[in-house]
Structure 1
Amino acid sequence: MNASEEGGHSLASRVNHEWSRLTRTERKVARYLVAAAPQDVMLAAAGDIAQRTGTSDATVVRTARRLGYAGLPDLKSSLGAHFGAGGAPQISIRLEVSEASEDLAATSSAVVDDAVERIRQFGRTLDVARLTEALQLIVSAEEVFCYGWGSNELSARYLALKLNRAGKRSRHCGTTGFTLADDLLTLTSRHAAVLFAPGRALPDLRLLVDHAKATGVGTILVTERLDQEIAADVDVVLGDGGSPGGLTAEPLCAMLLADMLVLAMMSVGKDRAVDTYALLTRLRKEIVPDV
């Protein structure tokens, strides 16, 4: 069996444990999942697996859930974590796609499928109650501190930009090391902090969270690793579904969360949002009169 994971909850062990409970068509999917190469499963959409097993998309998704996964993206992520344990899994997957695709259409389709599955899974697991708690922290804050490093800085920058346009004073930060200490100097209990840390936490994030806790800053963590240690020390944790095949950018679902928070905040502070947008429009016209 090629599709293996470490530990007592491997894909193969899950199939063996649940075999008697699976329907005939679910067993077809399960046989394929344990026999196929991990990279083939990670790159396949539900429709691809359904076609290969003579079943349906719904059967593929249902089988993944019967095996104890949240869905097909969760199954893929679990396989990917162990498949790439000795190297860089996402790089390996990208190389597989590059070598296997004979034309741009196939590559484009793989990326789109990855994004669609990721967004669907994100929508299914979205915790509205936690989103409401995050909104309350943002609305009550005088200023929002948006933090992310690397590609996640894009999410922090995007959220700060949109919040400012909606009338909520915000700033973004993507620094690490000694420079981060300077950015933390002005944080007070009147702030809220949104921290984008999808899959891994730098030591700098530990400092940020500890300082926020000490100064009374409300903290919101956006991550795909809901079980990471840092999650226990923030006020709100929002799930950010990871890429099943590693083909789409980390900030994809984080930016969707940002849009949700901004739109919700605009509905709460409608007058301020309208006034800010009117000012923004006037300033833009002064820069480019014909716009």
Structure 2
Amino acid sequence: MLSSFSELVAAKSSDLSRTEHRVARFFAENRHQVLVQSALELAQSIGTSDATVIRTARSLGFDGLDGLRKAVAAELEVGPTPARRMSKTLDESSGSLQQVLETTFAAHAEAAAKLRDSVLLEDFQAIVHMLATALEVAVFGLGPSSSIAEYFCIQLRRLGFASRALTKSGFLLADDLLPLKSGSVVVIMAYGRVYPELSVLLAHAKGVGAQTILVTDSLQDALKDRVARIVTIPRGRPDAFSTHSATVAFLETLLVGLGTVAPQETVESLNQLNRLRADLAGQAMELAIPKVSSGHDEDNNH
């Protein structure tokens, strides 16, 4: 039995034409893209026709692109364990720290490049305005994502936006979910599977009228009907050590976006932070705060 999509591509390689082999290799190396893009969009990314994309999916043994997507989604949902991911990454480095440096930097660069392709301007604008007008922003993340959630909330509060992190699991999460209400916006970082905490959060948010934004690399299809916006962000190669630089980059881009749509409020909040720090330290402390030009002020008065 073939244990991965990459192994399937390798096993079928001899039955594929040269063009189909190139398309199949793209499928194997860009599984998250396969999940969210149409046949025409994939064809444009690969440099071929949408008919070739569909024909390649059938040559791999699927009934079409939808069948291929289901197989990819199932593999990403189960996925290798963290130990297997790390073991594969270490095997590829061959014990060389130089190789670690090169391959890890390359993985971050690739993730950033894919991020730019996967985040649509329409979604980015909508999410920034959702956050800017929210009564509060709640950020959900468990495991390693909990630290990212805390970081994003600290930065939001510095800019003057009410925010809190939802990072508890089990019964303890119930107390954090209770204050959610209409006007709340929940940013959800979730991967792999729809675990109980995520399912309860989504149901409660819908029940109270809170809006939800999903940041994921694998749950697009499973949750597309349960959230307002979805942003697909890769965490490196699916079978290698997970990296979160692209997620942090996206969240920091949202922070800059919020500063852009509410420059006076965010600068005043940072000035207040400086005043509080100075009071605590007993001397002037300065953060790098951009000046708002008079031209920008005039634009905001329209």
Aligned partner of 1:178: which letter?
F
Report what 2:300 is aligned to.
Answer: none
Does the residue aligned with 2:125 lie in a helix, a strand or coil?
A: helix
Pairing 1:172–2:170 present: no
Q: 1:281/1:140 Cα in 2 relative to 1: closer, same or farther (>3 Å)?
A: same
Partners of 2:267 and 2:116 in 1: CA distance: 29
The residue that corresponds to 2:9 in the other structure is 11
In the aligned structure 2, how far is the partner of 1:211 from the partner of 1:187? 8
1:232 alignment partner, SS class = coil
Conserved? CA contact 2:89–2:241, under 8 Å = no
> How far did residue 247 of structure 1 move?
3.0
Mapped pair 1:94 → 2:92? no
Distance 1:215 1:62, change over 3 A: same
Secondary structure in 1 matching 2:193: coil
Identity score, percent: 23
Measured in 1, the distance between the counterparts of 2:226 and 2:77 equals 29
Matches within 5 A, 1:192-203: 192-203=185-196
- Residue 67 of structure 1 deviates from its aligned partner by 6.3
Residue equivalent to 2:217: 224
Give the C-alpha shift of residue 117 in structure 1.
1.2
The DSSP-based 3-state class of the residue aligned with 1:219 is strand
Q: Map Cα deviations across residues 137-184 of structure 1 (whole Å, 9 max, x no partner).
A: 111211111111111112211221111111111111201111111111
Distance 1:17 1:285 in 2: 70
Deviations 1:225-248 (A, max 9, x none): 253423311111111113115234
For the Cα contact (< 8 Å) 2:191–2:219, is it kept in 1?
no
Deviations 1:37-71 (A, max 9, x none): x9xx89xxxxxxxxxxxxxxxxxx769x97689xx
The list of structure 1 runs, each at least 4 consecutive aligned residues, that deviate by more than 4 angstroms after superposition, is 12-18, 65-69, 81-87
AA in 2 matched with 1:138: L
Are residues 195 and 214 of structure 1, via their aligned partners in 2, closer, same or farther at CA, if it must alter by over 3 Å?
same
Worse overlay, 168-177 or 127-136: 127-136
Paired position in structure 2 for 1:185: 178
- Is the alpha carbon distance of 1:191 and 1:62 closer, same or farther for their aligned partners in structure 2, counting shifts above 3 Å? same
- Unaligned residue ranges in structure 2 (runs of 5+): 31-45, 57-70, 286-302
Cα 1:231–1:277 shift into 2, 3 Å: same
2:250 match: 257
Residues 1-291 of structure 1 aligned to structure 2 (within 5 Å): 5=5, 10-12=8-10, 19=17, 22=19, 88=81, 90-99=82-91, 100-244=93-237, 246-249=240-243, 251-288=244-281, 289=283, 291=285
> What residue number does 1:48 align with?
none
What's the TM-score once normalised by structure 2's chain length?
Answer: 0.70
Deviation at 1:271, TM superposition (A): 1.0
- Structure 1 residue aligned with 2:63: none
Consecutive unaligned residues in structure 1, runs of 5 or more: 43-60, 70-77
Return closer, same or farther for 1:84/1:233 CA change in 2, 3 Å cut-off: closer
